[in-house]
Structure 1
Amino acid sequence: MVFSRTLSRASRNVPCLIQLIHRRFSYILGIETSCDDTGAAVFSASGKLLGDSLSSQTSTSVMLGGVLPPVAAELHKKHIESVVLDAVSKSNIRLQDLSHVGVTVKPGMSLSLKVGVDFAKTLATQLRIPIIPIDHMEAHALTALHTDPKLEFPYVILLISGGHGLLGIVQGVEDYILLGTALDASPGDVLDKLSRRLRLNRLGDERLKNVAGGKALEMVARIYNGNHRRFDLPLPRSQSKDCDFSFTGIHVFTEHLIDKLESSTSGSGHTLAMQDIADICASIQFAMARLICRRVQRAVEYCILQGDGDDNVSDVKITRPTALVVSGGVGANLVIRAGLTEVANHYNMRFVSPPPHLCTDNGVMIAWNGYLLQKEKSPRITEDISSVDFTPRSTFGLDFRESVKQANISIEPIKLPDSVFQS
């Protein structure tokens, strides 16, 4: 393998003393393979992004009707070497100049995680550098600190993607509080399934040909001027006084709606009219945005209540958040962003979100998290390479969901103007 030969030459040609001299200047490599994107990036000791590379499997996943773990793992194996070498090359450094390698170890698909972890362990062993195990969700939660230098702790974080949905507080690089989570399906999973049900990639519009489900749904609603008020979709658990999400109700209701409309449509294949499809897409976004915004609103109210009072849970101090941050693939949805901006404005908070390409999975967020942990001298950093392993599941900080429920907070939902849903 080319990479093995490259590592071998690096190990032979650079004496240990010279390696140590070079590594006084930290260069942190980050590797991401938790799902179906192979990413790598390098940050300097000053926190500057030097180079990054990404191999996306979106077109393959669209063709196969979803992410298939064995296929995703094989594509990671095929591309990880070139992605890492490309990121290092763009950084204008050599492999042997790396001082740390950060890698996603949780959560994610086991087969995909294994590829990245095995690769990182081989690299760290050959270069004799420590590994920084990275939590994928924490990396998403910290990305905005890279893209917005003015962002300060603490802030409310909303992570919404194809695999996850959670709401919490980020109080520090290794200090998180969980306020709510998706109880059933993730928002991205629901959007992808409804996109496939509507056959959006088969509408004959070239603009949708290789676009992932959730993004295709957003595009159809916008391009074809979907009416978001035509179909009244449910808001599951909207009366529950907690911050947990449920998106399955939206999924099931919309499936039945599509079945009903198709059965009443004459013609071959019971194909829906384009306007019907666009209106359904817009209505789905409308329901999701309203549901998410209400949960976020209660989370902010909880933080304010805890920050203004003396009834903080246990020894953990919660103060009023400085900003509302959203990330994850669904966080790139412009309609949902616009709704969340209204919520942030209502509470005189900043709304912050990384650019869309950094909301989806990437190597930049892993390398950035590695940089922050290295800067904090985190005990997570280890030279015991064999001890590093992956796990498909993880918890996000301290679980305060029951505390939110016990606070029994009633909210008056913020009215979102129609302009929000015409983005």
Structure 2
Amino acid sequence: MLAWKPPYLALNMYPCSRLTGLCHLRHTRSPELLRRRTLSHMLLGLETSCDDTGVALISTKDGSIVHEQVASQTRLSVMLGGVLPTVAREFHRTAIDHLTSSTLANSGVGWKDIDGIAVTVKPGMPMSLKVGVTYAKQLAELYRIPLIPIHHMEAHALTAMLTYPSLTFPYLVLLLSGGHALLALARGLEDFTLLGTALDASPGEVLDKLARRLKLSRLGDFRLNSVSGGRAVELLAAEHKATSPLFEIPLPRSQSRDCDFSFSGIQLNFERLVSKLEDELVDVDSRSHSILPVDCLATVCASLQSALTRLVCRRVQRAFEFLRSNGSADFPWPTALVVSGGVAANSVIRAGLSEVAQHFGLPLLAPPARLCTDNGVMVAWNGLLLKRANRRVTWDISSVDFEPKAPFGIDCRALVRNAEIRIEAIKINS
């Protein structure tokens, strides 16, 4: 389908023939939309901010998803002990053209049918971002298509408006992922008020490190060998017996009256717990390669999920209390609690957040799991919303560049902190 190839593709570390051995490929298309494709044009979304390569086509007429594909490096990252920037870059270089070409071919559309290219430009890993932005700019110049630069976290925050068409601004949105923890009031398409953020490590980063510390990938359970640390923790926690008590772990910054998160404090407390358990249950001479008993690991994982859930729910509860006590036009009462991001796909965390939302008489809205992790659909959808509003659409290709670090909305965390709101934590039954 795509005869032209970007110059850098000649430098690929991993040829396309080896893609399926290194990653998980997922694609979805709508047969009904393919039959109606001549009735509307398409918008292409490209995502390469971290280690997943996402490509999607959506209809500019009604926003329906025509085709989507994701190449995930999770299996490779687990093997390597984390995401390596140089490896992620070469993987994106291989995957992006392959996915784009097959997406257009499977949709039966040509470049003349593409009305715009939305591409993630910030924030993210610089080497990864550069691949997607460079590729998008080359396509835009070659086929004379306008570009729409996308903020990665804004795209996550707006995905729920695709899956819940009745959702309206303002709404409270919680983004939990491998690289971020953000709590904000979404007041408009480009209007976000930041109420809380991670002060140190991200929740996904902590889960990955603790999964490696627990040696979960060495258990011999094939389910744990090719998933993220957070997913491995969730799978093992499901095996915890309800009759067995959880480990009591103190929450960091429990006396702080703000909406900021400290996940590294949880990591430190659990590393101490694991070391203590190893002293008690593992022979000293074999400690470097031995693993805790499975029932003990399940209890540790369930305790970790519980601690994360309590921490997140208390911060969200304080955000609701702040909005209710403020009552100004700058901080209107939200219509819903929206959660997104890979960590937010955890069923226990979602259940806890649902209880908090219900306490305040609001629904919890979460996109399906495949749209919570990084994907091209959210980028294309954000691009379509911007295109409809005639914002950020540019023909000036040279003006588009990537930004590894970028703020998210207007930072109002100090206002929350200065309000010194004391809360009585909602009892979470999850």
User: Could you say whether these structures have the same fold, taking a TM-score greater than 0.5 normalized by the shorter chain as the test?
Assistant: yes
**Aligned match of 1:269:** 286
- Cα deviation for residue 86 of structure 1 reads 2.3
CA distance in 2, matches of 1:3, 1:409: 60
**Aligned match of 1:4:** 4
Q: Pick closer, same or farther for the CA change 1:127–1:323 going to 2, 3 Å.
A: same
2:281 partner SS? coil
Correspondence 1:317-396 to 2 at 5 A: 317-378=330-391, 380-396=392-408
1:325 partner SS? strand
CA distance in 2, matches of 1:193, 1:88: 38
Q: Is residue 105–residue 133 contact of structure 1 (8 Å, CA) maintained in 2?
A: yes
CA distance in 2, matches of 1:133, 1:24: 26
Q: Is residue 240–residue 302 contact of structure 2 (8 Å, CA) maintained in 1?
A: no
Q: Is residue 282–residue 292 contact of structure 2 (8 Å, CA) maintained in 1?
A: no
Indicate whether 1:412 and 2:424 are aligned.
yes
Q: Percent identity?
A: 54
CA distance in 1, matches of 2:178, 2:126: 16
Indicate whether 1:123 and 2:119 are aligned.
no
Find 1:43's aligned residue among 58, 62, 66: 58
CA distance in 2, matches of 1:184, 1:3: 45
1:52 partner SS? strand
Q: Pick closer, same or farther for the CA change 1:3–1:344 going to 2, 3 Å.
A: farther
Q: Is residue 50–residue 90 contact of structure 1 (8 Å, CA) maintained in 2?
A: no
1:53 partner SS? strand
**Could you give the per-residue CA deviations for residues 300-347 of structure 1, whole angstroms, max 9, x where no partner exists?**
11112223xxxx4xxx62211010000001010000000000000000
**Aligned match of 1:290:** 310
**Aligned match of 1:61:** 77
1:264 partner SS? helix
- Cα deviation for residue 28 of structure 1 reads 1.0
Correspondence 1:98-247 to 2 at 5 A: 98-225=114-241, 229-247=245-263
Q: Bigger CA drift: 398-407 or 176-185?
A: 398-407
**Aligned match of 2:301:** 281
- Cα deviation for residue 92 of structure 1 reads 2.9
CA distance in 2, matches of 1:90, 1:216: 33
Indicate whether 1:97 and 2:113 are aligned.
yes
Find 1:397's aligned residue among 403, 406, 409: 409
- Cα deviation for residue 87 of structure 1 reads 2.3
Q: Pick closer, same or farther for the CA change 1:266–1:144 going to 2, 3 Å.
A: closer
CA distance in 1, matches of 2:3, 2:78: 30
Q: Unpaired runs of 5+ in structure 1?
A: 7-21
**Aligned match of 1:74:** 90
**Aligned match of 2:20:** none
- Cα deviation for residue 229 of structure 1 reads 4.2
2:423 partner SS? coil
CA distance in 1, matches of 2:107, 2:158: 22
Q: Pick closer, same or farther for the CA change 1:3–1:328 going to 2, 3 Å.
A: farther
TM-score (norm: length of structure 1): 0.90
CA distance in 1, matches of 2:244, 2:409: 36
**Could you give the per-residue CA deviations for residues 167-190 of structure 1, whole angstroms, max 9, x where no partner exists?**
001111111110000000001100
Q: Pick closer, same or farther for the CA change 1:266–1:394 going to 2, 3 Å.
A: closer
1:279 partner SS? helix
1:339 partner SS? helix
CA distance in 1, matches of 2:243, 2:184: 32
CA distance in 1, matches of 2:317, 2:358: 11
- Equivalent residue letter for 2:286: G
- Equivalent residue letter for 1:4: W
**Could you give the per-residue CA deviations for residues 44-70 of structure 1, whole angstroms, max 9, x where no partner exists?**
122111111111111101111110010
